[in-house]
Structure 1
Amino acid sequence: MSAHDNVTINPTLEDLYRDLHSHPELGFQEHRTSEIVAKRLTELGYEVTTGVGKTGVVGILKNGAGPTALIRADMDALPVKEDTGLPYASTVTATDASGKVVPVAHACGHDLHTTCLLGAAEALITDKGSWAGTLMLVFQPAEELGAGAQTMVDDGLFDRFPKPDIVLGQHVAPLPAGKIAGHAGPSYAASDSLRINLVGKGAHGSMPEASIDPVVMAASTVLRLQTIISREIPSTATAVLTVGSFHAGDAANVIPGEAELQLNIRSYDTRVRERILSSVDRIVKGEATTSGAPQEPTVTEIERFPIVTNDADALAKTLGAFADWLGKDKIMDPGAGAGSEDVGILATSSGAPLSYWLLGGTDPSLFTTGDMTDPALLTVPSNHSPHYAPVIEPTITLGVTALVTAARTWLPAS
């Protein structure tokens, strides 16, 4: 029997997905989702622990001697107002960590990840003769905050539960439904988001000589920051620095006292990352000194995602099983992506190799070539868009089957 044979898909998964989609929850607020996950796993017969890393859930199923496979799904949603027009679209609002009321939507597909892992949990316990070892199902909070995986680790994930021999997972993507993509080596970028506060001296707009203008200081800083990638990083390295927010003042005729920048850095090499962060600090302080700022600026980390590195051998083993199931023409290499993930923390913290792939979830009829050169990749709604929503089928069936296939490949029956 092949690893993908006899995968039973519970037909109620579609309703579960719609329910989760219409009830999204922000990071570390996934109380309802966690309750649903824990209830389903308990009813199936898993050993369930809740509250791991605040709102995380871990399900353990031991099925004889053999290795341990950790399969991860993230559960949190985004502060995005959904605009899909779907009958099950989210109308939810929530209070974020800063106390602000924001719209919330599953604009990244974590509802689908949760649904598929619950479906795989059922399929694997229904057919225990097809695998042997220990399943460790990790339903993780707060991936969007870059904090959920580390919080679970800090809460004793690998002290209280078995250390895995492999970490597996998938992420739905705006690729044609029916295709799977994976890249060996550094696969998803490290991401550092920073807040920079520059302090000047406010004055009336008619008296600039009485000010130390933080707007000019910030504008100079923005321009100088853009030289880091073009003049300080090797041309063979890949990195991105984006200033996404610039705020200063509230009136046209008032020079404000402070300015705030928010920027994001993406990189694939630890040394490159360290060079960029060091350069940011140097430039910010240098521009403030040049401007005669009355006090030193502050650079504060907002969030951080480490580089995600797929183990080449582990990914090849998983994708090989997928190729036997779907066909080689359905498996793609997307190259290294600029998106970021915290799933790699589960691998590095446990010492296990990572095998992480992308699951196509977009209507195939929208694509021409269906590969990584397809122009539709630039036009179809992507993750984090208010218009993003995977097609329910065949995405759920393929997502469940992929997880079951991966589990059976890594936990073969004797």
Structure 2
Amino acid sequence: MVHGVVEGLSEIRESLADLYRDLHQHPELSLQETRSAAVLARHLREAGCDEVAEQVGVTGVVGVLRNGEGPVVMLRADFDALPVEERTGLPYASVARGVDQEGREVPVMHACGHDMHAACLVGAATLLARSRDQWRGTLLVVFQPAEELAVGARGMVDDGLFERFPEPQIVLGQHVAPLPAGFIGYGTGPVMAAADSLHITLHGKGGHGSRPESTIDPVLMAANVVTRLQGIVAREVPPAEPAVVTVGRLQAGTKENIIPDRAELGVNIRTYTPQARDLVRAAVERIVRAESAASAAVAEPDLDWFGSAPALVSEPDATKATMAVFTEYFGAQRIQTMPLVNASEDVGVFGQAIAVPTVFWFWGGLETEPTLAALMEGRLDELPGNHSPFFAPVIEPTLSTGVEALVIAALTWLGAP
């Protein structure tokens, strides 16, 4: 059955490559993906979807393929880009500019491979639409915006995704990664970390640098907060529990001899269990408030949590069943287990919202032989990874492998003809 569906890939491979190059050359930031959404919706209509909806969760696109009685299966891809200046040197490299959430003009690039995700999902939907004699059930095709802000999945759910469209029994997704092209990596259980971001404002009392006694220095306050936060993972989280606390932004003052009246910090947390997540979040708040009190701050600190995504759990039994079919199709030599990934993905919000399993895997996008050699020789740092200005998957065999994986995964859970 699988081979009967994917054999049509040769007919659409070049058009999918053109779509990929077009998306790559015209990236759009999170919740601004209007051009991309229109392009993807058009392709779904041309593919023969029975229903296509736009502006689901602001810029999301949904397609429905109905094919008789049977299971409902969801395939998901994200399609937003990043504020990164491309340095790949490709003839279809992005030179796009955009305006970010803070109103700043920034370069824009598909530095995480979401353009490849979208092109592969168009390909899978097209092949499954053309092969309805090979399966039964309903396919829900979801193009999710704003993954990079970790708000896109929740936005689509809150906009009635599972009330307006058929509710799936399983959610399937994939991510291109700095692995050898043609290879697939997977894990079972937690595979990607929960993410939580926090904006902190510390309130001091400004004044002249020559008279520190007349001020309350928020820079010193912030420095102490940064130092104390590093003790959370080292001294409060059990050693066997992976966790990361990062202070990625610290801003205060305008001149070396002026003590400012406030300092701002940007904190990011990665955890894998709800218990660790609650522990770390509570510890961060406790430390920030305690340092403010110890410094006699003029006001309580402002703590604004945002950009939260749960840990991505690839349900073990469903993942093993899917990977068994992958192994049969691709061969065991192209399937490998993956360690925990500290990066985060909000695709888990979909399955969590309706209490159904999620299966998620990674597939390679870098030149096969050089990447295999780098992996064998321990030169991982030489490989361009996701979010790098040099990251751009080779079109083949990345594109074909991604399409085939989505088709095979869907057919694993759709009904037989």
Give TM-score scaled by structure 2 length.
0.96
Counterpart in 2 of 1:375? 378
Paired residue secondary structure (1:78): coil
Are 2:205 and 1:206 equivalent residues in the alignment?
Answer: no
Counterpart in 1 of 2:410? 407
Paired residue secondary structure (1:223): helix
Structure 1 residues without counterparts, runs of 5 or longer? none
Counterpart in 1 of 2:200? 196
Counterpart in 2 of 1:343? 347
Q: What is the letter of the counterpart of residue 258 of structure 1? A: R
Q: Give the Cα–Cα distance (whole angstroms) in 1 for the partners of residues 347 and 2 of structure 2.
A: 28
Paired residue secondary structure (1:12): helix
Counterpart in 2 of 1:30? 33
Q: What is the letter of the counterpart of residue 8 of structure 1? A: G
Counterpart in 2 of 1:246? 250
Counterpart in 2 of 1:262? 266
Paired residue secondary structure (1:82): coil
Counterpart in 1 of 2:18? 15
Q: Give the Cα–Cα distance (whole angstroms) in 1 for the partners of residues 377 and 127 of structure 2.
A: 34
Deviation (angstroms), 1:4: 7.4
How does 1:280-359 map onto structure 2 within 5 Å? 280-359=284-363
Counterpart in 2 of 1:92? 96
Conservation of the 8 A alpha-carbon contact between 2:186 and 2:336? yes
Paired residue secondary structure (1:295): coil
Conservation of the 8 A alpha-carbon contact between 2:16 and 2:123? yes
Find 2:400's aligned residue among 390, 397, 401.
397
Are 2:128 and 1:124 equivalent residues in the alignment?
Answer: yes
Conservation of the 8 A alpha-carbon contact between 1:170 and 1:358? yes
Conservation of the 8 A alpha-carbon contact between 1:3 and 1:409? no
Task: Tell me: CA distance 1:196–1:243, structure 2 relative to 1, closer, same or farther (3 Å).
Answer: same
Conservation of the 8 A alpha-carbon contact between 1:364 and 1:370? no
Deviation (angstroms), 1:301: 1.4
Task: Tell me: CA distance 1:5–1:35, structure 2 relative to 1, closer, same or farther (3 Å).
Answer: closer
Q: Give the Cα–Cα distance (whole angstroms) in 2 for the partners of residues 152 and 411 of structure 1.
A: 23
Q: What is the letter of the counterpart of residue 288 of structure 2? A: V
Q: Give the Cα–Cα distance (whole angstroms) in 1 for the partners of residues 5 and 334 of structure 2.
A: 17
Deviation (angstroms), 1:369: 5.4
Deviation (angstroms), 1:289: 0.8
Task: Tell me: CA distance 1:3–1:270, structure 2 relative to 1, closer, same or farther (3 Å).
Answer: farther
1:49-98 Cα offsets, whole Å, 9 max, x none, are: 11111111110011121101000000100111111111111111111222
Paired residue secondary structure (2:299): coil
Counterpart in 2 of 1:167? 171
Counterpart in 1 of 2:64? 60
Q: Give the Cα–Cα distance (whole angstroms) in 2 for the partners of residues 120 and 6 of structure 1.
A: 9
Q: Give the Cα–Cα distance (whole angstroms) in 2 for the partners of residues 145 and 6 of structure 1.
A: 34
Task: Tell me: CA distance 1:351–1:374, structure 2 relative to 1, closer, same or farther (3 Å).
Answer: farther
Deviation (angstroms), 1:302: 3.1
1:288-318 Cα offsets, whole Å, 9 max, x none, are: 1111111111111131111111100111111
Conservation of the 8 A alpha-carbon contact between 2:171 and 2:350? yes
Counterpart in 1 of 2:390? 387
Q: What is the letter of the counterpart of residue 275 of structure 1? A: L
Find 1:176's aligned residue among 172, 175, 180.
180
Q: What is the letter of the counterpart of residue 73 of structure 2? A: A
Paired residue secondary structure (1:392): coil
Q: Give the Cα–Cα distance (whole angstroms) in 2 for the partners of residues 322 and 370 of structure 1.
A: 25
Counterpart in 2 of 1:141? 145
Q: Give the Cα–Cα distance (whole angstroms) in 2 for the partners of residues 381 and 6 of structure 1.
A: 30
Structure 2 residues without counterparts, runs of 5 or longer? none
Alignment length (residue pairs): 413
* Aligned-residue RMSD, C-alpha: 1.3
Deviation (angstroms), 1:374: 5.6
Deviation (angstroms), 1:101: 1.2
Paired residue secondary structure (2:356): coil
